[in-house]
Amino acid sequence: GENVEQHPSTLSVQEGDSAVIKCTYSDSASNYFPWYKQELGKGPQLIIDIRSNVGEKKDQRIAVTLNKTAKHFSLHITETQPEDSAVYFCAASGDWTGTASKLTFGTGTRLQVTL
């Protein structure tokens, strides 16, 4: 099955700096790579995703890059703000099968944005 590794486990940055979180996956058949953000006391929420036919995707201050050859993908947050403080999870999955395509999650990164 798929295995997703995520680094670092904790990350502290100053407000305004950039943050980068990296993930690697094992299954070359995976083609969908979402990122979820979990704020304190809440469930994870999708913030951005990328499919394997795209190398980069951007949404305001967040961007995701994908290197299929190396089987890794990264989340980039620019101009970090205190509200970016949360736990971030990467995930990977294969094709939709019509039953349920399972997402395999990374172990999470706790991002702390300090003033």
Partner 1 sequence: DVKVTQSSRYLVKRTGEKVFLECVQDMDHENMFWYRQDPGLGLRLIYFSYDVKMKEKGDIPEGYSVSREKKERFSLILESASTNQTSMYLCASLTGSSGANVLTFGAGSRLTVL
Nearer to partner 1, 34 or 77 (CB): 34
49-59 b/e (C-beta count within 10 Å ≥ 16 → b): ebebeeeeeee
Nearer to partner 1, 16 or 96 (CB): 96
73-107 b/e (C-beta count within 10 Å ≥ 16 → b): bbbbbeebeeebbbbbbbbbbbeeeeeeeebbbbe
The residues that touch partner 1, with contacts defined as CB under 8 A, are 1, 6, 9, 31-32, 34, 36, 41-46, 49, 51, 89, 93, 95-96, 99-108
Compute the least distance from the CB of residue 7 to partner 1, in Å.
12
104 pairs with which residues across the strands?
92
Nearer to partner 1, 48 or 78 (CB): 48
Compute the least distance from the CB of residue 110 to partner 1, in Å.
9
Residue type, 13: V
Compute the least distance from the CB of residue 112 to partner 1, in Å.
15
